[in-house]
Structure 1
């Protein structure tokens, strides 16, 4: 190959030291690119609230949401839901349903819904499951699977590991909340993934003009719209709740969906630069593809995306000993979120906490705090012809 200047490039001399300034014959430093610090320095998040030249918050929120939407790599979807009830059974204080509906133009899914006894419409929660590298169960991580013994065994083990033995959806249903849980692509009824095959799924979705994170985000938007459309549900009192990857999904859905009016996110909040450090779990790839919108970091940081939800009520909880998110990284992200809600005179609508001694779990004490906050936000269920009591932060 001839050099543009017309001369052949000099051949490397075997055994000679590298030219001055030559970085390394390797591209990786552990799991990170050897030049990762320079790439991080280039990330200035120019669209973040307070940095962006847009000073009107509603206009900023519209521009920021449009930017996230572009990076989902999934077009908006208005496919009719066409719901069917495949099964309904009574439980103590609520009804259990298996529903079928079109979550997008691409997929018809089986979902679990719990509906409290009594006259509605009821406040409702979209339950968003975690990753956990456990793919045989998804929605069953949060709603007790009464219909499948094998999944019940797996789900009980997961509830013991992450939720203090509780099924979060059943707990909420007993408190008077309607809940809906849907499998993300790769989990539960839509399983087939293994830890290693996540990379192949991501690569093939990228080649097809899509992404795992974008597909999941669009499905979560659609699930929220479906939940809000149901006659048993009060459309003004629809919340999202999730743990771990489900927490990421919860605040992301609150940012991207007008149907979600409040959110609870347990054990997933950090800044991107704080996450991209040696030893962080995200550097392993694989599961990270479900929380990665290619190119979005050139515009917005992770807390900036969550900030699109402002001034909606948002409850963030985590553990001080979580090995996946350092307390310092979480507090830095919390501080940025508090500044956004404060700028909108909505400090009382944002709750941030790190519970001492807790790891990567959504323990019963943390659940009780979150449930009480949801109850206060929603107020009492409406009564026909009667006034509605509203809790703080609505």
Structure 2
């Protein structure tokens, strides 16, 4: 009996000690309501392994083979070989080129409307896949990069304009507002990057990513992305994965056009479009060069309180589950080596911390150097420039692309 009592007393004592210890805990483990990071995020960030990331002294060909296999496994959802079956809807003559509205099968699930710009007399011509930004502006996608086709300004619409003409006019006004905000200066009103390249002799293709422009719905907004992303996760795919796969398909479609030189097909993007540009340049064999303006940093550099990537919502369009186990952003971009690539960032861009941008650029230069192709990688942090793609930047970038492609 005494032994039983002693055991019971010991059990009560152990419980008492345990109860005393359990008072030592963190009551709140979320940093804030809007940037909902766990308080232990720094510990998680330090454990991000990037197990297949670039390491000094690695064999570049073996590294690329392993990294590319993993990147494609995570980013590309499936191998889609659906015939494109392009059809032309209408066209508009412009200065030195024709702007066409076309439709084609971007996947086995979606037949999409796109803009195709064809320079006069195009034959064996260079080409550019124009990849639009996010900007929380879902009313336009491809129209961020190419001036809307057969659209009249609202103030110039005739009194008997039909609903289709009115809708086109509204889209034009939104597109012009976008161009004014991100592309133009006082002396260059209403310009679009895709049209600028068409004037230089490039065949240009612009599509809408899922949720933007003609692939959206009235009322689709920033908050809608969370539901879209979670629904796609539940369906066994991802928002970012669908965008990436469709970009690869668009690249293949563009390279297949009879007037295009398959060896000279560039991906060109601004903001989220820049992310898409270096991503598709890395994972698609159909892209042979790229221009990425305003999107590059390390994952750890963006996982800091206050950064835009922590809001959720827009981040889902660029979030591939578990890729941080294997590859950092500059590692994925580095899989494009030794292709010619240009990266611009600005010192005043609040979305991309300069030190993180520098770290990314340094790693990419190591990768291109290992491939004996560092002269093909141009990286630049532009003093006094924010999140924008102004005329001087575009001229510099497009002159660089002309040089890479031997385009006169």
TM-score calculated relative to the size of structure 1: 0.90
- Report if aligned partners of 2:60, 2:367 keep a CA contact under 8 Å in 1: no
Aligned match of 2:176: 156
1:17: Cα distance to partner? Answer: 8.7
- Report if aligned partners of 2:76, 2:244 keep a CA contact under 8 Å in 1: no
Q: How does 1:223-234 map to 2 (within 5 A)?
A: 223-234=250-261
Q: How does 1:34-73 map to 2 (within 5 A)?
A: 34-50=39-55, 55-72=58-75
Match for 2:281 among 254, 277, 299? 254
Aligned match of 2:321: 294
SS at match of 2:90: strand
Aligned match of 1:214: 241
Aligned match of 1:335: 362
Gaps of 5+ in 2: 1-10, 151-167
Q: Does 1:130 align with 2:157?
A: no
Q: Does 1:19 align with 2:23?
A: yes
Q: How does 1:147-226 map to 2 (within 5 A)?
A: 147=150, 148-164=168-184, 165=189, 166-192=191-217, 193-226=220-253
- Report if aligned partners of 1:73, 1:209 keep a CA contact under 8 Å in 2: no
Instruction: Write the distance in 1 (CA, Å) between the matches of 2:92 and 2:17.
Output: 75
Which one has the largest radius of gyration?
Answer: 2
SS at match of 1:242: strand
1:355: Cα distance to partner? Answer: 1.0
- Report if aligned partners of 1:73, 1:211 keep a CA contact under 8 Å in 2: no
- Report if aligned partners of 2:100, 2:149 keep a CA contact under 8 Å in 1: no
1:152: Cα distance to partner? Answer: 0.5
- Report if aligned partners of 2:141, 2:209 keep a CA contact under 8 Å in 1: yes
Instruction: Write the distance in 1 (CA, Å) between the matches of 2:230 and 2:76.
Output: 14
1:70: Cα distance to partner? Answer: 1.7
What do residues 235-275 of structure 1 show as CA deviations (whole Å, max 9, x unaligned)?
Answer: 11000000000000000000000010000000000000000
What do residues 86-109 of structure 1 show as CA deviations (whole Å, max 9, x unaligned)?
Answer: 112211100111111000111110
Instruction: Write the distance in 1 (CA, Å) between the matches of 2:399 and 2:30.
Output: 50
More off after superposition, 293-302 vs 35-44: 35-44
Aligned match of 1:106: 109
- Report if aligned partners of 1:220, 1:253 keep a CA contact under 8 Å in 2: yes
Higher helix share: 2
1:122: Cα distance to partner? Answer: 0.9
Instruction: Write the distance in 1 (CA, Å) between the matches of 2:95 and 2:53.
Output: 47
Q: How does 1:249-328 map to 2 (within 5 A)?
A: 249-328=276-355
1:149: Cα distance to partner? Answer: 1.1
Aligned match of 2:81: 78
Instruction: Write the distance in 2 (CA, Å) between the matches of 1:308 and 1:26.
Output: 37
Gaps of 5+ in 1: 1-5, 382-394
1:66: Cα distance to partner? Answer: 1.4
1:380: Cα distance to partner? Answer: 3.3
Instruction: Write the distance in 1 (CA, Å) between the matches of 2:404 and 2:336.
Output: 16
Aligned match of 1:388: none
Instruction: Write the distance in 2 (CA, Å) between the matches of 1:119 and 1:215.
Output: 31
Instruction: Write the distance in 1 (CA, Å) between the matches of 2:202 and 2:59.
Output: 35
More off after superposition, 245-254 vs 333-342: 333-342
- Report if aligned partners of 1:125, 1:177 keep a CA contact under 8 Å in 2: yes
RMSD between superposed Cα atoms in Å: 2.1
Q: Does 1:363 align with 2:368?
A: no
1:304: Cα distance to partner? Answer: 0.4
